[in-house]
Amino acid sequence: MAYGKIPESDKTPYHRRLEKQFNIDFSNMKPRTWLIEGQTIVSPEFKQQGKPYIINRALRAKYQQQQTQPKPSLTERFKRWMDGKNFKQPTEEEIQDSEEQSEEDKEDEIEQAQGDGLMEFNEPMFPEEIE
């Protein structure tokens, strides 16, 4: 756990034990000074290089390069659809796979239909009113 400057009013008995153990006074610690795993460290000071608008412009350009091309509008997509450019011709393997699947589906439907005739109820599902 990392501890920085703690006001006197916020210290708990645990913080006081840490102060005694590591000979530190949390309420008088310098800015950017931290106690981490028994060691005191000073966090680095980062300085901005360049003006914010220049940095933002560079970041925005980099982000826009990563973006994919914008989606075509609805009218453009409709024109492509009407021209048939949007459709991919299926390969022979895809056609054979779909035919095999349709044959398997038909066999499954036949098996299910035959199995449905096996279920019979001898008693009515809702008995008549009891007098």
- Domain extents for the chain? 2-42, 72-114
Low-confidence ranges of the chain (pLDDT < 70): 68-69, 85-90, 110-131
Host H or E run for residue 78: helix 74-83
The per-residue pLDDT for 11 is: 92
Distance, in Å, from the CA atom of 129 to the CA atom of 32, rounded to the nearest integer, reads 84
pTM for the structure as a whole: 0.36
The per-residue pLDDT for 1 is: 78
The per-residue pLDDT for 120 is: 55
23: which DSSP letter? T
The per-residue pLDDT for 12 is: 93
Nearest partner of 43 among 29, 51, 33, 58, judged by Cα: 33
The per-residue pLDDT for 32 is: 87
The per-residue pLDDT for 122 is: 59
